[in-house]
Amino acid sequence: MSLWIVFTLLAAFAQNVRSALQRGLAADLTATGASYVRFLYGLPFAALYLFVLLQVTGESFPQLNTTFLVSILVGGAAQVVAAVLLVRMFALRVFTVGTTYSKTETVQTALIGFLVLGEVVGPYAFAGILISFIGVIALSVARTAVTPKSIITSLGSPVALMGLGCGAGFAIASVCYRSASLALESSGFAVSAATTLTGVLIWQSLIMTVWLAARDRPSLVQSYVRWRPALAVGVASVIGSIGWFTAFALENAAYVKALGQIELVFALATSALIFKEQTNRAELLGIALVVAGLVLIVI
Backbone angle region of 61, left / alpha / beta, with phi > 0 → left and psi within -120 to 50 → alpha: beta
Concatenate the DSSP letters of all residues of 96-147 into one string.
HHHHHHHTTHHHHHHHHHHHHH-PPPPHHHHHHHHHHHHHHHHHHHTTSS--
Percent of the chain at pLDDT > 90 equals 39
Task: Fill in the amino acid letter for 19.
Answer: S
* Sign of the dihedral through C-alpha 114, 118, 119, 125: positive
Please report the pLDDT score of residue 98 as a whole number: 62
Backbone angle region of 92, left / alpha / beta, with phi > 0 → left and psi within -120 to 50 → alpha: beta
| 235-265 pLDDT per residue, tens | 998 999 999 999 999 999 999 988 888 877 7
Task: Fill in the amino acid letter for 252.
Answer: N
CB 81 within 8 A of CB 118: no
| 102-113 pLDDT per residue, tens | 778 888 899 999
Number of compact structural domains in the chain: 1
Distance of CA 2 to the CA centre of its chain: 21
Which pTM does this prediction carry?
Answer: 0.85
Task: Fill in the amino acid letter for 37.
Answer: V
Output Rg (C-alpha) for the chain, integer angstroms.
19
Q: What is the overall mean pLDDT for the chain?
A: 83
- Cα distance between residue 176 and residue 73, in whole Å: 9
CA distances in angstroms from 200 to 5, 86, 205, listed in the order given: 22, 20, 8
| 65-100 pLDDT per residue, tens | 999 999 999 999 999 888 878 767 765 655 556 666
- Cα distance between residue 273 and residue 283, in whole Å: 15
Q: Which range is least confidently modeled, 15-29, 62-76, 137-151, 262-276?
A: 137-151
Contacts of 253 (CB under 8 A, 6+ apart): 109, 113, 119, 174, 175, 177, 178
Domain that holds residue 181: 3-298
